[in-house]
Structure 1
Amino acid sequence: MDDEKIKHYDGVDSILGNPRIALWKMSIPLIISLFITSLYGVIDAIWVSGLGADALAGVGFVSPIFIALIGIGNGLGAGSASALSRYIGEENKEKSDNGAIHTILITIVISIVTTTILLIFLKDILLAMGAGITINYAMDYGIILSIGSILIILSNSLYGILRGEGDANRTMYAMLFSSILNIVLDPIFIYALNLGLKGAAIATLISLLSVNLILFYWFYIKKDSYLKPFLSNYKFNKGITIDILKVGLPASLELINNALFAALFSLLLVRVATTDAVAVYSTAWRVVTIATTPMLAVATALISVVGANYGARKYEEILVAHRYSMKIAILFGFIAALIVYIFAPQIVSIFAYTGTSTRLSPQLIAFLSLIVIYFPTMGYGATSTFVFQGTGNGITAMFQTILRETVFTLGFAILLAVVLDYGEYGAWWGIILGELLVNTITMIWADLHIKKLIKYKNITINSKN
């Protein structure tokens, strides 16, 4: 530790310092980073909409799979950030470095398994989701993304290593470069090279490849990160593997569950409406993803702040961080809701600018004008869920997500859309009601969890005295 004092690294010093300042330092670059990530899907949708509504629906059916791949990477990244920040809080550099290389090796193995499964079962999955007449479009887009699964998963996992040491800035730089590259390549591959949906997928993978190369350059050539994920630092440790996976796997399953929800919701929309309703939902949800990015960024930053303070047994600081993060995220939620509601027609015009896509405009505007109701509730729901990830309680966080998405949100959607026969509008209201109920439950749950940690610490201290 003599030549690598923790104080020499701004990110590490930040997550162990004032939790309010740490949240802002982590959140701002994460807002930009996640906003850029959201642009991948939006940029594809903007260009693909020029190919027609069926092509847009085809991309919509692949979206849950793409979300699942990002979810696996983000989940492993969350597991890594949670474990590594706790090791840093314990001031265990050797264990931190070993944990970083564990993350990469685990990610590679999971990526290989995931790619194999997708290549074998992709068409069956898409047909089961109701792709129907759009199956050829969906396969054109989906098969290429499946081949490049490792690029999607690995990049998001590597971000977790950087977040674990409190370095959110460099993830922002890499993703900014990747996004600009994607913006440039999309029209070239889709239209200039006449590759259609295949071109959109290829452009996305090239952009993701660039991100991975940049990240590996920082870790293995420039070598200026606090954590050193080198093979020379690797020594198999069952405890480290469990620490990463006990948050990483549930977090991945959380996001895969979100993808499952999107698939089931699309199937529901086909049942009560048409494939146009799927195009509306998948396209508008990209706008929702961008609008809610600030809340998710604050929640993601909270993992490292909570993890570091948990490792240092500074539980009171966790309570401060949680309550402060909720205030910030709720404010962002109200601002996002106001902007989307006011400018919904202008936002929709970006997607429905040509061909058969223009017929979707009224439905897209209606969806966006309604869905903003739930934005502020995500502010306190997401931050509360991520508290549990930061303290290593990944199973609890996963249960909360499944409760929100699969049980209540989908349950309300089926009740309103099918049983009460309100159609696709009923399905939209199902999302709002499910989010409102479970986000409120999660907020109360997280607050009680932190207070329990503080109480246990005080009892331990008093018993020693």
Structure 2
Amino acid sequence: MRDTGKSTDLGNDSVRSLFFYYYVPTLISMVSVTSHQLINGIILGQKVGKEAIAAVGLYAPILLAFISLLLPLMIGGGITFSRSIGAKNYQHAQQVFRFTTTLVLLAGSILAVGAPLLAAPIATFIAGQESPLILTFTTDYIFWNFVFVPFLFLRFLWGTFLNNDNAPKVNKNVTVFSSVLNIVLDVLLVIVFPFGIAGAAIATGLSLLAAIVYILVYLRKGSGHLDVRHFRPTLHLSEWRSFFRVGFPSFVSEVSGSLGLLLLSRSLQPYGVLAISAFGLINFLNNIFLRLFTASMMSIQPIIGFNIGARQPERVQNTLRFALLFTLTLGSALYGIGLLFPTGFVRVVAGKEGAAFRQVAADAIRYSFLLYIVAGPNFILAMYMQTIGQYTVSILISVLKGVVLIGLLLSVLPPFFTTRLDAIWLARPLAEIITLLGVSLYTVYYRHRYYAPEAILKG
């Protein structure tokens, strides 16, 4: 393997320093994406209107569904690839790369070809027909995103393989490059040439294409173990089932989250354009701030995994405790900002909108930001359980907070609120809180199964 620069000892360095060693570069990649999304949202909100922000937010469940379909290949393929490299079985590693690449290209091409037929029905389902303008924007946004979806799939998959091929810096550079390009294209296709929300979607698609070209140029240099110079498509791999077994909890997590967002969007349709637009704004902000906790979750996985293999369960316990405390503190700070300054977020994203929308959106932020206090700990617990082999608990966390409790709370809460919209804004945060309390109490009560050294080493 190539030298990655700074030397770290996963078995002896302090847990805190190791956490931030992984967290900082992961966050840099995510911040570049977040910056693009924030600027994209500001451009759309200021130049097109709140209906455009709503369309982008309503597309979020579809994007989550796509990611959920990719996760078994990304996680299972990445693990199998890295194990093959460790065993110096480079031919098998390349076979894994070819197999997964062929699958995502096939699936992405089917969606791209079907875009003209799929866009309008899907948009009608998630946006309703209360606002013809939101429906039109959502249809356009879905259509152009579907056209470019093969590049989206490849970008996610190849990013995972770059990390597993000891090239995380290349993956980070690709992310920063494509995000900057996306911002430039947003300005060009939304402001200079007023193509509206279609221009924003096209800008994203072109930046994904540029990212793929960047990776191809790198891979053709032969710097790592990935080879595209003699690439041959294949749908044959004997252990393909292991991909889905390893990645299944993450798959369930994404599907549950997508279904939960769909339940919320459907519940808001009777409340009109203002509510749907505010929901789009909330999804837009969640897509930015939840990345802080996703980066935390990704940072603990290699530390925990290594120390399970090194049979040092006390370091696994220390990592879990630190990550839970870090995400709880970070989430509380974000909630405090949202509670005190909700109108600030509204002004930044949709400054020209009227007082009625600003009021609805501010209320939505005050309630919805409660999510951040517990979202991080739930992410951390789910990853911990998955890493130590407790797949049932990991899946339970995802299903409860993602869809089951949201559906239940949407049925139970509204009669207890004078303004029923407030109940809808609270449904997701309360689902996360109940999940965290329930799972924590259960696993602590049976801590010998989940936190004891012998339980950890079974993973």
Structure-2 separation of matches of 1:456 and 1:172? 32
Work out whether residues 248 and 394 of structure 1, in 8 Å CA contact, stay in contact via their aligned partners in 2: no
Q: Is 1:372 aligned to 2:369, yes or no?
A: yes
Structure-2 separation of matches of 1:235 and 1:311? 32
Work out whether residues 36 and 180 of structure 2, in 8 Å CA contact, stay in contact via their aligned partners in 1: no
Cα distance per residue 1:301-335 (max 9 Å; x no partner): 22333344455555554333322322222222223
Cα distance per residue 1:164-220 (max 9 Å; x no partner): 3565433322212222111111121123222111101101111122222223333x1
Q: How does 1:66-81 map to 2 (within 5 A)?
A: 66-73=63-70, 76-81=73-78
How many residues align structurally? 447
* Distance 1:99-1:57 versus aligned 2 partners, 3 A rule: same
Q: Which residue of 2 aligns with 1:344?
A: 342
Shifted more, 198-207 versus 117-126: the winner is: 117-126
Structure-1 separation of matches of 2:205 and 2:395? 29
Q: Is 1:111 aligned to 2:111, yes or no?
A: no
Q: Secondary structure at the match of 1:43?
A: helix
The CA deviation at 1:31 is 1.5
Structure-2 separation of matches of 1:103 and 1:13? 31
The CA deviation at 1:427 is 0.8
- One of 407, 413, 426 as aligned partner of 1:429: 426
* Distance 1:232-1:216 versus aligned 2 partners, 3 A rule: closer
The CA deviation at 1:59 is 3.0
Structure-1 separation of matches of 2:437 and 2:79? 24
Structure-1 separation of matches of 2:78 and 2:318? 20
Q: Which residue of 1 aligns with 2:277?
A: 279
* Distance 1:130-1:102 versus aligned 2 partners, 3 A rule: same
Amino acid at match of 2:181: L
- One of 15, 30, 34 as aligned partner of 1:34: 30
The CA deviation at 1:277 is 0.9
* Distance 1:245-1:75 versus aligned 2 partners, 3 A rule: closer
Amino acid at match of 2:262: A
* Distance 1:155-1:118 versus aligned 2 partners, 3 A rule: same
- One of 46, 49, 55 as aligned partner of 2:42: 46
Identity among equivalent positions (%) equals 17
* Distance 1:275-1:179 versus aligned 2 partners, 3 A rule: same
Cα distance per residue 1:42-77 (max 9 Å; x no partner): 333222222233333333332322333344445643
Q: Which residue of 2 aligns with 1:211?
A: 211
Work out whether residues 175 and 211 of structure 1, in 8 Å CA contact, stay in contact via their aligned partners in 2: yes
Cα distance per residue 1:110-165 (max 9 Å; x no partner): 43455456554332222122431232221111101011112222212222223435
Q: Secondary structure at the match of 2:369?
A: helix
Structure-1 separation of matches of 2:409 and 2:177? 41
* Distance 1:382-1:19 versus aligned 2 partners, 3 A rule: farther
Q: How does 1:404-443 map to 2 (within 5 A)?
A: 404-417=401-414, 422-443=419-440
- One of 360, 363, 370 as aligned partner of 1:363: 360
Work out whether residues 83 and 392 of structure 1, in 8 Å CA contact, stay in contact via their aligned partners in 2: no
The CA deviation at 1:280 is 0.6
Amino acid at match of 2:25: P
Q: Which residue of 2 aligns with 1:255?
A: 254
The TM-score, its normalising length taken from structure 1, stands at 0.83
The TM-score, its normalising length taken from structure 2, stands at 0.84
Structure-1 separation of matches of 2:404 and 2:313? 32
Structure-2 separation of matches of 1:389 and 1:163? 20
Shifted more, 111-120 versus 344-353: the winner is: 111-120
Work out whether residues 252 and 398 of structure 2, in 8 Å CA contact, stay in contact via their aligned partners in 1: no
Amino acid at match of 1:200: A
* Distance 1:198-1:322 versus aligned 2 partners, 3 A rule: same
Q: Secondary structure at the match of 1:238?
A: coil
Shifted more, 58-67 versus 376-385: the winner is: 58-67
Work out whether residues 120 and 139 of structure 2, in 8 Å CA contact, stay in contact via their aligned partners in 1: yes
Q: How does 1:95-110 map to 2 (within 5 A)?
A: 98-110=95-107
Work out whether residues 385 and 442 of structure 1, in 8 Å CA contact, stay in contact via their aligned partners in 2: no
Structure-1 separation of matches of 2:173 and 2:94? 23
* Distance 1:455-1:346 versus aligned 2 partners, 3 A rule: closer
The CA deviation at 1:378 is 1.6
Structure-2 separation of matches of 1:321 and 1:163? 22
Work out whether residues 189 and 199 of structure 1, in 8 Å CA contact, stay in contact via their aligned partners in 2: yes
Work out whether residues 417 and 423 of structure 1, in 8 Å CA contact, stay in contact via their aligned partners in 2: yes
Structure-1 separation of matches of 2:113 and 2:393? 29
Structure-2 separation of matches of 1:391 and 1:71? 21
Q: How does 1:15-164 map to 2 (within 5 A)?
A: 18=13, 20=15, 21-49=17-45, 50-73=47-70, 76-84=73-81, 91-94=86-89, 98-115=95-112, 120-132=117-129, 133=132, 134-164=134-164
Q: Secondary structure at the match of 2:347?
A: helix
Q: Which residue of 2 aligns with 1:186?
A: 186
Work out whether residues 297 and 383 of structure 2, in 8 Å CA contact, stay in contact via their aligned partners in 1: yes
Give 5+ residue unaligned stretches, structure 2: none
Structure-1 separation of matches of 2:83 and 2:180? 34
Structure-2 separation of matches of 1:346 and 1:145? 30
Work out whether residues 98 and 231 of structure 2, in 8 Å CA contact, stay in contact via their aligned partners in 1: no
The CA deviation at 1:17 is 6.4
Structure-1 separation of matches of 2:153 and 2:145? 11
Structure-2 separation of matches of 1:100 and 1:445? 38
Work out whether residues 381 and 439 of structure 1, in 8 Å CA contact, stay in contact via their aligned partners in 2: yes
- One of 367, 377, 382 as aligned partner of 2:379: 382
Larger fraction in helix: 1
Q: Which residue of 2 aligns with 1:463?
A: none
The CA deviation at 1:28 is 0.9
Q: Is 1:298 aligned to 2:293, yes or no?
A: no
Work out whether residues 126 and 265 of structure 2, in 8 Å CA contact, stay in contact via their aligned partners in 1: yes
Shifted more, 118-127 versus 294-303: the winner is: 118-127
The CA deviation at 1:10 is 5.3
* Distance 1:452-1:142 versus aligned 2 partners, 3 A rule: same
